[in-house]
């Protein structure tokens, strides 16, 4: 770049051209106006940082940091180039003070060989340097997730535009792809892979997480029973994806393996009728990352309600319009997400809108979806400003939901926020108590998280779990479409409530076990039979997956010694049972639970991972990915390439491209991970 500027400084002034002068001034002023707009941020975060318009625009439009930064540099380079052209179009008289800058290089021609044209300006812009490597980098093409040949330095957005293409390589004006996450940019990875110091600093300072340590290995002879509540939240995967695409590994506390596993759809065997709300299956296979152990894989699938079987819904949109929501990836994205949800509803459904900032207010009384235009107008009219009286907003929303309560229907509050509650009952415990008390009215609560800088993940989880609802994180329009359009039925319409799983391992067959994830959903053994203990919900067509890593009796992989004075293991040599699985659940509206159970037979264990179904293998790859993101030392010898190979071989049917996107994320994590 320096050589190019030096060349420009030694060129003789071109002949005055009114066309060139006008074009250069227009370009310079457009760049200046854009820079001025981006320099004005609406507010500051609590820690003093100003919100980054660049970062939020990258997320909304799915544009990775390196190419976005390259285009920004190109814009800034346009200003001096444009001003240079403008000055040269009307060359001023050379004064003595200006003569040193007008010196010519010895041997240079007295007249320019060619006019300094728009194509030359374009050529200079196309030579903008790559941001992460001073030399030609290897590039990770995450559209195919394979290393691509080194690209010429500075393949800039402007160069693609000149070819009639968008930055993702798609022709301008072509329809939006079904998989909105698939079209992304190349990411130079040399600098990231070369050293730990090359990893970008975390981009979401101020976000809060309440992660728990991974479940420990347990000895069957001492603790043969494992009990937990099912979980169908997906927030952890969406947040981790945003962090990776922003160029940083997610904090370990933000990674919950069960939410990553259950982000994806699986084709587990389905129940035959609504009288059987879900069906459970089990698979045993060797553990890919730990020789001598096995995986007990449990899959549940809920009954898929038809449109005729779906009950009417009474929904209250509780929307945070406080000042912290005044960013492109918060309130504007939120409004579009709710418009998508309204499009999935039927004329028999009803919608209300409650907002909260310094105080709460009703933006729309309960309105039939028959009057969709009125609902959409209320959403479009929302604006941000003020503090965050979240507790007051929740109380107002519940009061409105109870006022328009639909008997034998679905009554739910959908809270959309960045998680910043700073007025009223803002402690996690106070809000949990409030939601748990309101749940008894039959009105449930789901939570949609947006943005970064104020995101309170722990609070989002607490509210959703106590409100008999789901927690999702929405970072792009594509994720909004998945959460509120594709998955609307499973997210809003429960078919089984307070679903608990209890697995008893046979000490004659199993020495040790560990449940992968579900740390925040662990229950006491006695909670399983207590119908007053709250647990998770399964929605229409939902799939739920849980994976145990188990150590067979006598395996050299056993890690816990037998007790010297402990009672001998209860030997049952005649039994071929590896474990016994029990599930307890309530039908919607019922007070007493029902019990379902089945044995897992040791003789049915598969001899290899490849013998397992495509979906089972893919879910295991996701589990390995999550554990590596958490820094689990048990997977230190199981590399990112092995995780990726396992996922690629089990990609299977992928109509929306979510599995292909996961494979790309594994490659990005490898590039970002410390060596």
pLDDT digits (tens, 9 = 90+) for 365-413: 999 999 999 999 999 999 988 766 667 888 899 999 999 999 989 999 9
Rounded distance between C-alpha atoms, residue 313 and residue 407, angstroms: 10
Q: pLDDT tens digits for 106-156? A: 333 333 333 334 443 334 334 333 223 323 333 333 333 333 333 333 323
Other Cβ atoms closer than 10 A to 244 = 21
Is residue 502 within 8 A of residue 227, CB to CB? The reply is yes
Q: For residue range 285-333, list pLDDT tens digits in order.
A: 999 999 999 999 999 999 999 988 899 999 999 999 988 899 999 999 9
pLDDT at residue 459, rounded to an integer: 82
pTM of the predicted model as reported, rounded to 2 decimal places: 0.72
Do 415 and 448 touch, CB atoms closer than 8 A? Answer: yes
Instruction: Say if residue 13's pLDDT is above 70.
Output: no
How far apart are the C-alpha atoms of 627 and 546, rounded to whole Å?
A: 14
Which one, of 365, 294, 255, lies nearest residue 669 by Cα?
255
d(CA 118, CA 303): 62
Mean pLDDT of 219-229: 96
Average pLDDT, the chain: 77
Nearest-5° angle of CA 132, CA 135, CA 136?
95
Burial bucket for residue 561 (CB in 10 Å: 0-12, 13-18, 19+): exposed
Q: What is the pLDDT of residues 539-562, one digit of tens each?
A: 999 999 999 999 999 999 999 998
Nearest to 493 by CA among 317, 650, 277, 669: 277
Q: Is the pLDDT of residue 466 over 70?
A: yes
Burial letters 573-588, b for 16+ CB under 10 A, else e: eeeebbbbbbbbbbbe
Domains of the chain plus CATH, in order, are 2-194 (no CATH), 218-306+494-672 (2.60.40.1230), 325-483 (3.40.50.410)
Which residue(s) pair with 350 in the sheet? 314, 368
> If you average pLDDT over residues 206-212, what whole number do you get?
82
Total residue count of the chain as it appears in this document: 675
pLDDT for 395 equals 87
pLDDT at 249 over 90: yes
| The token pair that represents 571 in the structure block | 């030997």
- Choice among 19-33, 410-424, 516-530 with the minimum mean pLDDT: 19-33
Tell me the H-state helices in 289-389: 331-344, 372-380
37 burial (CB, 10 Å; 0-12 / 13-18 / 19+) is: exposed
Cα distance between residue 71 and residue 154, in whole Å: 9
* Residues 258/231, Cβ–Cβ less than 8 Å: yes
Provide the pLDDT confidence category of residue 83 given band limits of 50, 70 and 90. Answer: very low
Percent of the chain at pLDDT > 90 equals 53
What are the counts of helices (DSSP H) followed by strands (DSSP E) for the chain? 19, 19
């Amino acid at each position: 770049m320096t050589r190019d500027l030096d060349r420009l400084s030694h060129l003789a002034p071109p002949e005055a051209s009114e066309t060139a002068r006008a074009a250069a001034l227009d370009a310079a002023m457009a760049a200046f106006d854009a820079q001025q707009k981006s320099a004005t941020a609406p507010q500051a975060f609590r820690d003093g940082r100003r919100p980054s318009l660049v970062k939020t625009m990258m997320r909304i439009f799915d544009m990775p940091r390196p190419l976005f930064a390259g285009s920004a540099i190109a814009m800034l380079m346009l200003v001096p180039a444009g001003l240079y052209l403008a000055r040269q179009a009307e060359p001023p008289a050379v004064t003595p003070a200006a003569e040193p800058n007008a010196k010519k290089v010895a041997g240079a021609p007295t007249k320019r060989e060619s006019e300094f044209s728009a194509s030359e300006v374009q050529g200079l812009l196309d030579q903008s340097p790559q941001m992460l490597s001073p030399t030609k980098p290897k590039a990770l093409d995450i559209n195919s997730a394979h290393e691509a040949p080194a690209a010429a330095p500075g393949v800039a957005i402007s160069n693609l535009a000149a070819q009639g293409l968008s930055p993702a390589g798609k022709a301008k004006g072509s329809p939006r792809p079904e998989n909105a996450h698939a079209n992304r940019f190349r990411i130079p990875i040399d600098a990231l892979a070369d050293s730990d110091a090359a990893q970008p600093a975390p981009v979401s300072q101020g976000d809060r997480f309440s992660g728990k340590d991974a479940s420990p290995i347990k000895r069957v002879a001492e603790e043969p029973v494992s009990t937990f509540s099912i979980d169908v939240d997906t927030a952890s995967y969406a947040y981790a994806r945003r962090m990776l695409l922003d160029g940083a590994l997610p904090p370990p506390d933000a990674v919950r393996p069960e939410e990553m596993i259950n982000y994806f759809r699986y084709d587990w065997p389905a129940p035959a009728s609504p009288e059987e709300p879900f069906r459970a299956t089990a698979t045993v296979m060797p553990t890919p990352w730990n020789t001598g152990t096995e995986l007990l894989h449990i899959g549940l699938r809920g009954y898929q309600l038809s449109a005729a079987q779906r009950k009417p819904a009474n929904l209250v949109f509780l929307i945070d319009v406080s000042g912290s929501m005044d960013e492109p990836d918060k309130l504007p994205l939120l409004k579009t997400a709710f418009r998508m949800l309204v499009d999935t509803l039927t004329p028999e459904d009803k919608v209300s809108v409650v907002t909260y900032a310094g105080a709460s207010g009703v933006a729309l009384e309960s309105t039939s979806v028959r009057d969709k235009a009125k609902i959409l107008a209320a959403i479009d009219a929302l604006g941000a400003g003020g503090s965050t009286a979240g507790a007051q907003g929740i109380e107002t929303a519940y009061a409105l939901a109870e006022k328009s309560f639909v008997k034998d229907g679905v009554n739910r509050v959908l809270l959309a926020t960045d998680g910043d509650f700073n007025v009223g009952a803002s402690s996690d415990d106070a809000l949990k108590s409030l939601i748990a008390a309101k749940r008894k009215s039959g009105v449930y609560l789901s939570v949609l998280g947006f943005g970064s800088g104020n995101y309170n993940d722990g609070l989002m989880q607490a509210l959703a779990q106590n409100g008999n609802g789901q927690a999702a994180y929405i970072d792009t329009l594509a994720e909004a479409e998945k959460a509120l359009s594709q998955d609307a039925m499973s997210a809003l319409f429960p078919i089984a409530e307070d679903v608990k799983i209890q697995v008893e391992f046979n000490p004659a067959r199993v020495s040790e076990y560990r449940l992968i994830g579900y740390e925040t959903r662990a229950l006491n053994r006695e909670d399983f039979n207590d119908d007053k203990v709250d647990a998770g919900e399964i929605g229409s067509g939902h799939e739920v997956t849980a994976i145990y890593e188990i150590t067979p009796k006598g395996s050299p992989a056993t890690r816990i010694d037998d007790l010297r004075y402990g009672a001998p293991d209860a030997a049952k040599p005649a039994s071929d049972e590896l474990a016994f699985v029990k599930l307890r659940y309530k039908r919607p509206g019922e007070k007493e639970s029902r019990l379902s159970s089945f044995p897992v037979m040791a003789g049915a264990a598969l001899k290899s991972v490849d013998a397992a179904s495509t979906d089972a293998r893919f879910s295991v790859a996701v589990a390995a990915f999550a554990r590596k993101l958490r820094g689990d030392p048990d997977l230190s010898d199981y590399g990112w390439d092995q995780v990726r190979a396992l996922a690629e071989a089990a990609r299977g049917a992928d109509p929306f491209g979510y599995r292909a996107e996961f494979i790309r994320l594994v490659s990005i994590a490898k590039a970002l991970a410390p060596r």
